Amino acid sequence: MQTPVGDDASPRYYHLHLQEDLLGGWTLVREWGRQGASGRVVKQHYTDRDGAEQALLLVRDEQLKRGFRVVFIQGQEQP
């Protein structure tokens, strides 16, 4: 996700993705900052995928309310 391009500042980005670990748990990785500058990364561990997905959706919805827009989305393919 990113904020719209403004005249006075570079756009901000917010990247969310899930990673499965080797023990069956899941990690929500959140990265954000201004484009062209170093950002911040926070990782949160969850024991199951459902919990991680719910956390991802909650964070996404919060950022959408703050003015971010989804610019790229890739999900798991359906069987």
Is residue 53 domain-resident? yes
Is residue 55 domain-resident? yes
The long-range contacts involving 59-65, CB below 8 angstroms and separated by at least 24 positions, are 59/16, 59/28, 59/30, 60/1, 60/16, 63/1, 63/14, 64/1
- Beta-carbon neighbour count of residue 72 at 10 Å? 7
Domain coverage including residue 42: 12-65
**Which tokens is 30 given?**
């959140």
**Which tokens is 35 given?**
């484009």
Is residue 71 domain-resident? no
Number of domains into which the chain is organized: 1
Q: How far apart are CA 10 and CA 25, in angstroms?
A: 36
Residue 7 above 80 pLDDT?
A: no
Residue 74 above 60 pLDDT?
A: yes
Q: What is the pLDDT of residues 31-44, one digit of tens each?
A: 999 888 889 999 99
Is residue 79 domain-resident? no
Question: What pTM was computed for the model?
Answer: 0.79
